[in-house]
Amino acid sequence: MFRFAIGNLLSRPVRSALSVLGLTVAISGMVGLFSIAGGIDNLVRSTFELIPGLLVQQRGAPVPIFSVLPSSWQSELEEIDGVSVVNPEVLARVNVIDGKTIISPPRFLLGFDIESRLRLRRGVYCEQIEKGRFLEPDDRGSFNIVVSRQIAEEFEKGVNDTLRVNGYDMRIVGVYHSGSLLLDVNVLADIETVRRMARFDPDSVSCFYLETEDDVDQEVLQQRIEQQFADRSLQSWQPSLLGLMQPGSANENPIGALFRQLDVAVRGRPESTDPEDASAEPSDATAASAPPSPTSGSPPPESPIEVRTGDDWSDRFSEMTGDLDLFLGIMTAIGVSIAVLSIINTMLMSVTERTIEFGILRANGWTSGEIVRLITFESGLLGIFGGLFGAIIGWSATLLLNANWPDRLHLYAGPGLLLFGVAFSTLLGVMGGVYPAWLAARLSPMEAIRRG
Answer for the pair 387, 27: CB distance below 8 angstroms, yes or no.
Answer: yes
Tell me, what DSSP letter sits at residue 222?
A: H
Query: Of 147, 95, 102, 100, whose CA–CA distance to 125 is shortest?
Result: 147
Flag whether 124 is in a domain.
yes
Same domain flag for 230 and 259:
no
Flag whether 288 is in a domain.
no
User: Per DSSP, what are the bridge partners of residue 163?
Assistant: 170
Same domain flag for 430 and 446:
yes
Among 253, 285, 303, where does a domain finish? 303
Same domain flag for 245 and 177:
no
What is the structure's pLDDT at 78? 93
Same domain flag for 146 and 97:
yes
Same domain flag for 80 and 217:
yes
Which residue intervals of 274-414 are DSSP H helices?
275-279, 284-289, 310-353, 355-363, 368-404
Same domain flag for 59 and 183:
yes
Q: What is d(CA 274, CA 290) in angstroms, rounded to the nearest whole number?
A: 19
Angle between helices 355-363 and 368-404 (to 10 degrees): 130
Flag whether 283 is in a domain.
no
| Chain centre distance of CA 137 | 36
Flag whether 79 is in a domain.
yes
Residue 264 belongs to domain spanning: 237-273+296-303
Flag whether 230 is in a domain.
yes
Flag whether 265 is in a domain.
yes
DSSP string spanning 160-215?
Answer: T-EEEETTEEEEEEEEE--S-TTTTTEEEEEHHHHHHHHT--TTEESEEEEEE-TT
Residue 288, Cβ density class (10 Å: 0-12 exposed, 13-18 middle, ≥19 buried): exposed
Q: What is d(CA 263, CA 191) in angstroms, rounded to the nearest whole number?
A: 33
Tell me, what DSSP letter sits at residue 21?
A: H
Q: What is d(CA 53, CA 213) in angstroms, rounded to the nearest whole number?
A: 10
What is the structure's pLDDT at 315? 65
Global pTM reads 0.66
Question: Based on the structure, what is the number of domains in the chain?
Answer: 3
If you count them, how many residues does the chain have?
Answer: 452
Same domain flag for 166 and 226:
yes
Answer for the pair 307, 55: CB distance below 8 angstroms, yes or no.
Answer: yes
Same domain flag for 106 and 132:
yes
Same domain flag for 161 and 230:
yes
Same domain flag for 85 and 223:
yes
Flag whether 425 is in a domain.
yes
Flag whether 412 is in a domain.
yes
Same domain flag for 260 and 321:
no
Same domain flag for 419 and 317:
yes
Per residue of the chain (452 residues), what is the pLDDT tens digit?
667 667 767 777 887 788 788 888 888 888 888 888 788 777 777 777 778 889 999 988 888 899 999 999 999 999 999 999 999 999 999 999 999 999 888 999 999 999 999 999 887 888 889 999 999 999 999 999 999 999 999 999 999 999 999 999 999 999 999 888 888 999 999 999 999 999 999 999 999 999 988 888 888 888 889 888 888 877 666 655 444 444 444 444 454 454 455 444 444 444 444 444 434 444 443 333 344 444 445 555 678 888 887 666 666 666 666 666 677 777 777 767 776 777 777 777 766 666 777 777 777 777 878 878 888 888 888 889 989 999 999 999 999 998 888 777 788 888 998 999 899 888 888 887 777 777 767 767 666 666 55
